[in-house]
Every structure is written in C-alpha cells, then in structure tokens.
Amino acid sequence: MTDPVRLTREKTPDAAPRGTHRIFLGMAAGVGKTVRALNDLRDRQARGEDVLIGVLETHGRTGTQAAAAGLPVFPRLNLPRGEMVLTEPDIPGLIARRPDVVLMDELAHTNAPGSGRGKRWEDVETLLEAGISVLSTMNVQHLESLNDMVARLTGVRVRERVPDHVLADADEVILIDLPPEDLRNRLREGHVYAPEKIEQALGNFFTTPNLTALREIALRHVAQTVEAEAPDGQPGANEVVVVAVAAEQTALRLIRRGGQFTGRLHAELHVVTVRSARLTPDQARLLDTCREITGALGGTFEVLDPQGGVGDTLVAYARRVNATQIVLGETSRSRWLELLRGDIIKHVLQATQNVDVHVIGRD
C-alpha cells in the first residue's frame, strides 16, 4: 500500500461548534479504508478520547474483525422489516451519549425504512451538527458527479451515491491507495470476498483495467480538490457553470458533467430547463430527479419561462448569472424541426461572448 494522500481543511476561528469529519476514500472495496479508520479510532482511544463504533460492516473479513477487536461498539437500532430485522446506527442514542468521535462505516449506504434519515451520510451530518466528530469510509465510484464516468469506464452503474458536497465539506480526506494488482492479489488470497465469489469478482468489476481507471479517478479527484483549496490565486473563484437540460434521459449525464466542471473550477452550478406546457408524467418525474441531483451537487435548479425561443431564453439566463461555461447536449430534435425553429446550439454559440460552450454527445 502506498502512503495515503491527505487533504486537510483548516477551520476558521469563528466556526460554529461542530464535529470534524475525516473520510477515508478508496478506489474499491478491499483497499483497507475501514482498517485504517479503525486504527485511527484506536489511536484516539489511546490518547484518552472517548470513542465508539457507531456502525461497522466487516463483511466477514478477518483483518477488519481483528482491527476492531476490543473497541467499544454502540448498540444498533433493530428495525423490523416483514419477517426480517434490519439494524442501523442509533443516531439519537449516540447524540445522547455524546462521545468525542464515532466510526460510521460505508458512507454511501441506504438506510432501512424507519431509520429517520434516508442515507448514512445524512446520519453523519446529524452527528457533526451535534458536535460529535466522525470517521467514515467510502469508495470514489459512489460520488454523484462521477457516476456516469464510472459507468462508462467500468460498465457498472453504481446505485448508491453520495453528494459531492459531503466530500467537499469534510475536514480531512485521506486517500487509501493500492496498486490494482496488489488488490487483485488480496482478492485471490481471500482477504476481500468469500471463496465462491473470488473468480466472479476478478472477472467482472475487479479487472485490471477497471481498477486502474478507478484508481486514476480517485487520484485525480483528490488532486483537483487540493488545487481548488489552494489559497494562492483562488482558481475559478468567478466561474459560473450553466447546464441546460430537457426532459430527456441525457439530462442526468449533462448535470453530472456540469458537476465535474464545477468541482474542477470551484464554480457555481446552475441547471436550467425551459418550461414546457406538455410534459408526460415520466418527464415530470425525470425533472424532479434532475432537481434532486443538482441539489446533491450543491447547485441550483430553475425552470425558465420562455423568452422567445429556447436559445434566446438560455442566452438571457446565461447573461443574467454571468455564466462563464455553458453545458449543452446534442439535440434530439429532427432536422425538420431544427429548420423550422432553429438550432439551439448554433444560436447559443453565436449569441454568447467570452463563454466556453461545451456540447456533450449523445450515448
């Protein structure tokens, strides 16, 4: 394992009393994130801090179980679900107990119904607001803005996702880096999955090309975040990214691409769509999803009233918010409609100055 890459943010003197959040980030399962977090927890305990395991997912891994041995575990909530009983961390109980620091494993986890919050990262936010520090773990493929890129590179669509602002707001991000072949060897030796799952994992998600791509994504993402935090020059402080979407499936990919731009440029994100009088129920639900993803990326979502044509409306909005970057998708309209109503992309290109226009191709 190579030395971890550490990103630390300093708190301002007048910051509200809030817990600190340290995230152990990896490219995939098995690189050692949870073991490193447990070792950190044990070190804090040795220094006299009051520590607890709020939730730990060992997946039967002997190395993880050994690292957790002897550390205090706070009882989980039991949540009946039909004939099953699911368990989730007891957030009200932890807040009442008020330890110095809590381990919350697997940040992208979706909570069982009845937990009080839908996602584990929301549990973490609740603890932080209560003044409790948190150690957490996640894999880079769970970041919302990287979802399309990961799916394209690995062929796997990750369903559980974490908003980018969770990583951006963390006090420390520690990248646990491991060369792809070392991780594949850990798989072969049975340190990650049960024996009956090893060959399937090696041939599907844990291929050398997939792991190489994920490692590169993780390294680049942390490097870009470090650049964005650099005090000298404040790159991108005046950058404004506007993403224009229609009620089509490509909208989600455009929003995530815009989220990548805002992350690199440390910019504002605006996602807009021009109001349509005729939306099917599916299209309306799709726009609701667009709004949710935009919020998860820290942006604003607006439905614009038409001001002339769609192109005119987009250009007027871009001027109003002083956009420096515009993200558009290739049109799905027929050539005949373009001749009748005009080419939106061409209009935006011709009507804007000092603005970079990015046209994203259709799948």
The sign of the CA dihedral 253, 254, 255, 257 is positive
Confidence of residue 93 (pLDDT cuts 50, 70, 90): very high
Q: DSSP code of 162?
A: B
Do 70 and 92 lie in one domain? The reply is: yes
Do 31 and 160 lie in one domain? The reply is: yes
Q: Is residue 280 part of a domain?
A: yes
Give the domain-ending residue among 229, 256, 280. 229
Do 268 and 211 lie in one domain? The reply is: no
In this structure, what CATH number is given to the domain that contains residue 294?
3.40.50.620
Q: Is residue 234 part of a domain?
A: no
Q: Which residue has the higher pLDDT, 91 or 148?
A: 91
Give the domain-ending residue among 175, 198, 229. 229
Q: Is residue 96 part of a domain?
A: yes
For the cut 60, the answer to whether the pLDDT of residue 363 exceeds it is no
DSSP H or E segment with residue 281: helix 281-296
Structural contact between residues 176 and 26, judged by C-beta atoms closer than 8 angstroms: yes
Tokens of 100: 């110095």
Share of the chain above pLDDT 90, in %: 46
Q: CA-CA distance, 108 to 121, in Å (whole number)?
A: 7
In this structure, what CATH number is given to the domain that contains residue 166?
3.40.50.300
For the cut 80, the answer to whether the pLDDT of residue 341 exceeds it is no
Number of structural domains (the chain) is 2
Structural contact between residues 314 and 348, judged by C-beta atoms closer than 8 angstroms: yes
Q: CA-CA distance, 363 to 307, in Å (whole number)?
A: 30
For residue 14, the enclosing domain spans 5-229
Q: Is residue 138 part of a domain?
A: yes
The alpha carbon of residue 337 and the mean position of all alpha carbons in its chain are separated, in whole angstroms, by 38
Average pLDDT of every residue of the chain: 85
Q: Is residue 324 part of a domain?
A: yes
Do 202 and 246 lie in one domain? The reply is: no
Q: Is residue 190 part of a domain?
A: yes
Do 71 and 158 lie in one domain? The reply is: yes
Indicate the pTM of the whole model.
0.67
Nearest to 121 by CA among 337, 296, 308, 348: 296
Confidence of residue 334 (pLDDT cuts 50, 70, 90): very low
For the cut 50, the answer to whether the pLDDT of residue 199 exceeds it is yes
Give the pLDDT confidence of 78-91 residue by residue, as tens digits: 998 888 889 999 99
Do 197 and 261 lie in one domain? The reply is: no
